[in-house]
A and B are shown apart, each in its own frame.
Chain A
Amino acid sequence: MKNKFLTALLSLFTVLAAQAQASTVEMADTMRSEGKIYVVVGIVLIVLVGLIVYLVVMDRKVSRLEKQLSDRQR
């Protein structure tokens, strides 16, 4: 009985300690609460979308080249 109680108490402490530790870990919470994280998301998305548009343009260019080539081969 006493053993069980001790185990329960110990596990409770472990959980509490783990939670306490988790909340003290420094994260960019201020940046998030200020909403500035959306600026970062915007910047990253602009770069990503820009590169993908570039890829699409290249894709079209290659398609055009393939068409020109097949016309010449005829």
Chain B
Amino acid sequence: MKNWVKIVGICLLVYVHTAGLLAEVPRLNILNETIRGLYFHVPMWFGMTFLFTVSVYYAIRYLRNPSPELDRKVLEYANVGTVFGILGILTGMLWANYTWGSPWHGDPKQNGAAIALLVYLAYFVLRGSLDNQEQRARLSAVYNIFAFAAMIPLIFIIPRMTSSLHPGSGGNPGFNAYELDFRMRMVFYPAVAGWILIGLWITSLRIRLKTVEEAIIELEDEK
């Protein structure tokens, strides 16, 4: 990963964390100042979806042309994506506690996100339960595609078909006003881009570490 990309990511996040607290936001009942949570909670999900998409891309590439290198990429993108998802769940629970009344509201999107994360956690369980490296890589790549195919409807389709407290689905007038707010977009989009870049950076670090680790094991075996 190029150094200037990392710097762009850092600058975006510094801007987001300043403007996210200082810039004007719409005055809405119930939400009040917590509307700023949008700048920090939602980018976690965008980051997760992005990293999972890259992961499934490498999973397909692995199945077409297997190599340990691609397997490492599939694993680490899914790994960092899951971290983003867990942060998304936790921030969402805190936010929901003060605006919806309880941390777990049984909201379709909340439930869907939790199930999707469990599906991805099973990916790591599957990997951990296989010893043969090739078998583990192949089976988990297939499972990764399934997990991705399960996540998309769970997070993006089903919640929109039923009524949900999340914006963009069902009846939710409290949120609709900001969906078109230009001032908020000026902070929200940089937040999404910044977190995706930082997520890519962390993933690239993990892939490099794993590569070094496996090369060392190989060296030890040669001795």
Chain A residues in contact with chain B, CB under 8 A?
21-23, 25-28, 37, 40-41, 44-45, 48-49, 52, 55, 58-59, 62, 65-66, 69, 72-73
Contact = CB atoms under 8 A, between A and B. Distances in A.
B215 A23 contact: no
Interface of B: 6, 10, 13-14, 17-18, 21-22, 27-29, 32-33, 198, 201-202, 205, 208-209, 211-212, 215-216, 219
Given A37-B22, A44-B21, A66 B216 contact: no
Given A27-B32, A62-B212, A69-B212, A41 B27 contact: no
Given A28-B32, A62-B212, A66-B211, 12 more contacts: A26-B32, A27-B33, A45-B17, A48-B17, A49-B14, A55-B202, A66-B208, A66-B212, A69-B215, A69-B216, A72-B219, A73-B215
A73 B17 contact: no
A21 B26 CA distance: 12
B208 A62 contact: yes
Chain A interface mostly: helix
A62 B211 CA distance: 10
Nearest to A48: B17
B22 A23 contact: no
A65 B22 contact: no
11 contacts: A23-B27, A41-B17, A41-B18, A41-B21, A49-B14, A52-B10, A65-B212, A66-B212, A69-B212, A72-B219, A73-B215
A22 B35 CA distance: 14
Contact of B219 (A22, A52, A73): A73
Contacts of B201: 55, 59
B156 to A, nearest CB: 29
B147 to A, nearest CB: 27
A25 B14 contact: no
Contacts of A26: 32
A66 B204 CA distance: 13
A48 B14 contact: yes
